[in-house]
A and B are shown apart, each in its own frame.
Chain A
């Protein structure tokens, strides 16, 4: 798939070609579900929000001028769809797991013992990563997902979430630090073991 091909689909979909739009759905469904799954908390809501996002995209395409990235625009619609769905159902965004108040807050680490089916190291790390994400506040979780899974720049995340750049920087920094702490405390994340040269409180 080339950017050129994607642009062709976008232009055709703008003009009302549902088949071209279907190609766009297939192209982006993974990314959209990656976001809705983490924001909505359960598969049914995730699917509903994803469908809402794509239907909004279909409706809004005639006004889409193609200046901003299609993906950024679509993620914004996805964010809106999730937010709306959770509010409509009387829940405040992704009520998955406890929230951190501070990066140093004590966290309850799930049993790190892998089940027999989860022996593979990668699988375990993924499980821990999902658990760590779920323990983040929804705001911090969302910016990290957009940054790491969707590879959005800070500027793009600011647009998607209607935040100023400073807030995006702050949330990514806090969220990542919380996630790192979670993974370190879980005992299954040792990508960068502490150096003996370093003092306990850092280098200063």
Chain B
């Protein structure tokens, strides 16, 4: 006996209490008259009850003591947490860009990330690198001079390499198969318009996306694409890399660099189209395909849009669209810097940069271990 397709996705959300009160009532009304769906929910709850036993796994005797022994032996040395003043220095180096930073954050845990030093370094150096990339004049060494040595050493700079595989198409796992999320489905559907040079905003895409659940039969809105950035109709998303890149498209890498920081191997890949990917993986994982993308930056106007904002958008127009953006205090001299809170899925953050009075790029970052300020 099978549950109703229309309620297939809602039933799990119901069992997990992840629906709104109205949706819960709607499902309950359906359950009252549908034994098949009721059986599914009952099974889901029975499975949950059975899971309670699974927490009891065998733990090696003295495990906690061995962890503490390793700590006392300094096997995991700590580094001092950086002070916010470092951010000021980094951001001061962005003065030439005259950057306006709009931080869009979300929800109860938004921006409440718990970044490690490594993660903070990752972010800070990305900011400097972004500056260099956008001005096309600052060599890697200059970034280091402008930066705080604690954040990004000269040695790190020397590690910057022009990728010898510059013209190698970096493609992803083509085994994408069925889109796992409605978002991915929408991405596919948008491909045509993106390829034809459309620069429709993500707001437009969102409107399309909201209709998507009907076609998937999920009966619920599982779409959360408004924070995504797009290329060739594909949504670029933060998260674990499962191939060369975490999405199903091709990019040309023109350079990359890696540096070590607090047990993490940080990496940054610069693509021909102006996309900069940054992420990290645990030290020792040498495979380039490993890691987690924590930050995506792009300057490509063909696909970089967000809720009516677009590359080249004049500052005053942007501020007219987001009048409650609050100016940030620590962005460095000459900057116009604003923070703005809005709902973004998960802990993702969107940063909007301005140069010479116009919108120059977007950065999408994971708020948990990506961009923090």
Instruction: Name A's B-contacting residues (CB within 8 A).
Output: 16, 18-19, 21-22, 25-26, 29-31, 33-34, 37, 43, 46-47, 50-52, 54-56, 58-68, 72-73, 76, 80-81, 83-84, 87-88, 122, 125-126, 129-130, 133, 145, 147-149, 153-156, 158-159, 161-167, 169-174, 176-177, 179-180, 183-184, 189, 191-195, 197-204
Looking at the complex, which of B56-64, B85-93, B126-134, B329-337 is the stretch in contact with chain A?
B56-64
Q: Which residues of A have CB within 8 Å of B76? A: 55-56, 58-59
Closest residue of chain A to B9 (Cβ to Cβ) is A173
Q: Is the CB of B180 within 8 A of A167?
A: yes
- A83, B240: Cβ atoms closer than 8 Å: yes
Chain B stretch 1-35: residues in CB contact (< 8 A) with chain A:
1-6, 8-9, 11-13, 15-16, 18, 33-35
Q: Could you say which residues of chain B place their CB within 8 Å of the CB of A16? A: 78
**In the complex, chain B residues whose CB is within 8 Å of the CB of A88:** 284-285
Give the total number of A-B pairs whose CB atoms are below 8 A apart: 271
Which residues of chain A have C-beta atoms less than 8 A from B116's C-beta? 56, 59-60, 63
Asked if B222 lies at the interface with its beta carbon under 8 angstroms from chain A, I say yes
Query: Of B3, B107, B239, which is within 8 A of A161 by CB?
Result: B239
CB < 8 Å neighbour of B12 from A31, A55, A169, A192: A169
Bound: A34/B54 CA distance, A: 7
Residues of B in contact (CB 8 Å), total 98
Closest to B181 in A: A166
Residues on B with beta carbons closer than 8 Å to the beta carbon of A179:
47
Report B32-76 residues with CB < 8 Å from chain A CB.
Answer: 33-40, 42-44, 46-48, 50-51, 53-60, 63-68, 70-72, 75-76
| B109 and A155 form a contact (CB under 8 A) | yes
Task: Report the minimal beta-carbon distance from B69 to chain A, rounded to whole angstroms.
Answer: 9
* Contact present for B16 and A194 (CB under 8 Å): no
Residues on A with C-beta less than 8 A from B56 are 30
- Contact yes or no, B53 A153, CB < 8 A: no
- Least CB distance, A39 to chain B, in whole angstroms: 12
Contact between chains at A194 and B1 (CB < 8 Å): yes
Question: In the complex, what residues of A have CB within 8 A of residue B369's CB?
Answer: 76
Bound-complex Cα distance A164 to B2 (A): 28
Q: How far is the CA of A148 from the CA of B15 in the complex (A)?
A: 11
Cβ–Cβ < 8 Å partners of B237 in chain A:
164
A171 touches B67 (CB 8 A): no
Q: Is the CB of A29 within 8 A of B63?
A: yes
Chain B: minimal CB distance from A158 (Å): 4
Which residues on B sit within 8 Å (CB–CB) of A68? 109, 112-114, 347, 368
Asked if B59 and A29 make an inter-chain contact with CB atoms under 8 angstroms apart, the answer reads yes
- Min Cβ gap B106→A in Å is 10
The interface residues of chain A, by DSSP majority, are classed as helix
Q: List 21 A-B contacts (CB under 8 A).
A: A18-B72, A21-B68, A22-B64, A29-B64, A30-B55, A33-B58, A34-B54, A51-B66, A56-B116, A59-B116, A59-B262, A83-B240, A88-B285, A130-B54, A161-B240, A165-B222, A170-B9, A170-B180, A176-B44, A198-B34, A204-B6
With A159-B346, A195-B1 already in contact, 20 other A-B pairs whose C-beta atoms are closer than 8 Å? A26-B64, A34-B55, A51-B67, A62-B78, A67-B112, A80-B292, A126-B50, A129-B50, A148-B51, A154-B16, A163-B239, A164-B181, A164-B345, A165-B346, A177-B8, A191-B46, A195-B38, A198-B1, A199-B36, A202-B37
Contacts of A191 in B (CB 8 A): 42-43, 46-47
Q: Are the C-beta atoms of A158 and B35 separated by less than 8 Å? A: no
Contact indicator A47/B285 (Cβ below 8 Å): no
- Contact call B59/A56, Cβ cutoff below 8 A: no
Interface string of B280-306 (1 = CB under 8 A from A): 011011010010111000000000000
Q: Which residues of chain B have a CB within 8 Å of any CB of chain A?
A: 1-6, 8-9, 11-13, 15-16, 18, 33-40, 42-44, 46-48, 50-51, 53-60, 63-68, 70-72, 75-81, 107-109, 111-117, 119-120, 180-183, 220, 222-224, 227-228, 237-240, 262-263, 281-282, 284-285, 287, 290, 292-294, 345-348, 366, 368-369
Min CB distance B232 to A, Å, is 19
> B residues within 8 A CB of A60?
114, 116-117
Contact A173 B8 (CB under 8 A): yes
Cα distance A46–B111 in the bound complex, in angstroms? 31
Contact assessment for B263 and A56 in the assembled complex, using a CB-CB cutoff below 8 Å = yes
Cβ contact of B71, chosen from A58, A133, A161, cutoff 8 A: A58
CB-based nearest A residue for B49 = A191
B67 touches A25 (CB 8 A): yes
Q: Which partner residue on chain A sits nearest B116 by CB separation?
A: A60
Contacts of A180 in B (CB 8 A): 40, 43-44, 47
Is the beta-carbon distance between B42 and A169 smaller than 8 angstroms? no
Instruction: Report the separation of the CA atoms of residues A199 and B93 in the bound assembly, to the nearest whole angstrom.
Output: 68
- Across the interface, which residues of B come within 8 angstroms of A80, CB to CB? 282, 292
> What's the least CB distance linking B148 to chain A, in Å?
16
User: Distance (Å) between the CB of B14 and the closest chain A CB?
Assistant: 11
Report how far A55 CA is from B8 CA in the complex, Å: 41
Top 8 A-B pairs, shortest CB-CB distance: A67-B112, A191-B46, A195-B35, A192-B42, A84-B282, A148-B51, A55-B76, A194-B1
Q: Assuming A34-B57, A59-B263, A130-B54, is B67 touching A159 (CB within 8 A)?
A: no
Point out the residues of chain B lying under 8 angstroms from A83, CB to CB: 240, 282, 290
In the bound complex, CA of A165 to CA of B18 (Å): 11
Residue from A84, A154, A203 in contact with B35 in the complex, judged by beta carbons closer than 8 Å: A203
